[in-house]
């Protein structure tokens, strides 16, 4: 027994206590990964069958990249990774890696960490198309979305085959203020190039067996008239005897909406070439009903919120009900994550030991799944760490006892006469 053995044991136990203490200190740190002290025995250079070790040394402090628990939050920009991936963030000159998904939008719309590092990923074009390639800092649009004039309308409905014809004998053959001159009507709001709303109403008039005239008004004015100003149909629907898919029109019917004045008193712009799709219409012996009506126009909108999908696509939502991709974050994995260089602040940097990152989008390969509105807790097992702390403390005391015992042996030798 020598003082060196006991001293090395004290040093090793002290380092172990430091590692355990750091793990305990970061038990509530989002995305933190615990560490483990690893030790090795020491021998003199000449080893034989009777060699006695000369102590212990700290060989490595390894990071434990096991999965932490995931808890939900109220922030849509809180992100958690369930798997092996790391978020990529940039300080402007270097890409760093983190498991801390606490992100926020800064004054310029960039998604950043709480220390200002920018989350990177693939950008999106103005129309919301993701553009894979070189990763750049992800930035939310700071303005609104431009209006889009209506270009197509799809109507799925049933016209009651039991209805009688309502076609007047003389022109005008329909009076929009007289419900006796048509059978049914339905409305949809469309938009002009300025995003101003136009109330478009369709009137369905049974003119013969299996035949229906379709009229339309925009803000109360007929969209199709003859030379005398009398309303004309924009199309005629012909059904087969079984009342199924119309035999005509086939495909879409194009019509124009003239300039009008809407309910707000604003003069609307003409809307040309609206494609009306009636292939979803039927004529069965049941009441009139519209099961679906869609149109592709919308007014201008302001940014109202942000969501992140499981695929990592960042969606911007607007006051007009539209949503558009603003980018897609990418994740990185490493062949040897224990080789990453810890920088503090829940950040790591690549190193020669870690190897180069393999990047990809969430839920591809072994990168891991992304969960929005959630955070990954520290993977520290607090109960286990406290037990390890007690064990390390006992080992420290035992090594101190070996030094005390060696001192007593030497004192005995000194006292020999």
The confidence score (pLDDT) of residue 396 equals 79
**Domains assigned to the chain:** 3-66+378-414 (no CATH), 70-145+303-376 (no CATH), 152-295 (2.60.98.20)
229's torsion region: left (phi>0), alpha (psi -120 to 50) or beta?
A: left
Q: What pLDDT, on a 0 to 100 scale, did the predictor assign at position 406?
A: 75
pTM: 0.78
pLDDT of residue 51: 66
Q: What is the pLDDT along the chain (417 residues), one digit of tens a residue?
A: 567 777 777 788 888 899 999 999 999 999 999 999 988 877 776 666 666 777 788 888 999 999 999 999 999 999 999 999 999 999 989 999 999 999 999 999 999 999 999 999 999 998 889 999 889 999 998 888 999 999 999 999 999 999 988 777 666 788 999 998 999 999 999 999 999 999 999 999 999 999 999 999 999 999 999 888 899 999 999 999 999 999 888 888 898 888 888 888 888 889 999 999 999 999 999 999 999 999 999 999 999 999 999 999 999 999 999 999 999 999 999 999 999 999 999 999 999 999 999 999 999 888 999 999 999 999 999 999 999 899 988 887 887 788 777 767 777 777 776
Report the distance separating Cα 417 and Cα 415, nearest Å: 6
The residues pairing with 318 across neighbouring beta strands, listed in sequence order, are 303
Alpha-carbon span 372 to 81, nearest angstrom: 9
Q: Which helix (H) or strand (E) holds 330?
A: none
Residue with tokens 């000369």, as numbered in its chain = 54
DSSP string for residues in 257-321:
E---B-TTSPBPPPEEEEEEE-TT-B--SS--EEEEEEE--B--B-EEEEEE-TTSEEEEEETTS
- Which pLDDT belongs to residue 252? 86
């Amino acid at each position: 027994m020598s003082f060196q053995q006991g001293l090395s044991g004290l040093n090793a136990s002290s380092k172990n206590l430091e590692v355990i203490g750091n793990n305990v200190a970061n038990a509530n740190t989002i995305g933190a990964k615990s560490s483990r002290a690893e030790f090795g025995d020491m021998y003199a250079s000449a080893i034989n069958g009777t060699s006695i070790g000369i102590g212990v040394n700290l060989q490595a402090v390894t990071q434990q990249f096991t999965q932490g628990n995931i808890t939900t939050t109220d922030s849509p920009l809180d992100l958690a990774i369930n798997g092996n991936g790391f978020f990529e963030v940039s300080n402007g000159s270097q890409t760093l890696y983190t498991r801390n998904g606490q992100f926020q939008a800064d004054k310029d719309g960039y998604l950043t960490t709480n220390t200002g590092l920018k989350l990177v990923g693939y950008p999106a074009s103005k129309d919301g198309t993701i553009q894979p390639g070189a990763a750049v800092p992800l930035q939310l649009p700071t303005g609104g979305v431009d209006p889009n004039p209506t270009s197509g309308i799809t109507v799925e409905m049933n016209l009651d085959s039991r209805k009688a014809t309502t076609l007047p004998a003389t022109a005008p053959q329909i009076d929009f203020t007289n419900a006796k001159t048509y059978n049914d009507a339905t409305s949809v709001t469309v938009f002009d190039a300025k995003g101003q709303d136009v109330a478009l109403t369709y009137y369905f008039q049974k003119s013969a067996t299996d035949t229906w005239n379709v009229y339309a008004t925009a803000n109360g004015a007929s969209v199709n008239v003859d030379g005398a100003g009398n309303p004309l149909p924009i199309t005629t629907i012909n059904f087969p005897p079984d009342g199924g898919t119309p035999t005509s029109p086939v495909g879409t019917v194009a019509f124009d909406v003239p300039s009008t004045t809407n309910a707000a008193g604003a003069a609307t712009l003409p809307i040309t070439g609206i494609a009306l799709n009636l292939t979803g219409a039927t004529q069965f012996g049941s009441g009139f009903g519209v099961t679906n009506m869609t149109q592709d126009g919308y007014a201008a909108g302001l940014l109202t919120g942000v969501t992140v999908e499981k695929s990592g696509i960042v969606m911007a939502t607007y006051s007009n009900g539209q949503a558009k991709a603003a980018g897609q974050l990418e994740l990185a994995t490493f062949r040897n994550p224990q080789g990453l260089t810890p920088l503090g602040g829940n950040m790591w940097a690549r190193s020669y030991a870690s190897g180069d990152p393999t990047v990809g989008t969430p839920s591809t390969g072994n990168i891991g799944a992304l969960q929005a509105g959630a955070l990954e807790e520290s993977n520290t097992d607090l109960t286990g760490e406290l037990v390890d702390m007690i064990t390390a403390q006992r080992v420290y005391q035992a090594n101190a006892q070996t030094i005390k015992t060696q001192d007593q042996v030497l004192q005995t030798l000194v006292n020999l006469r």
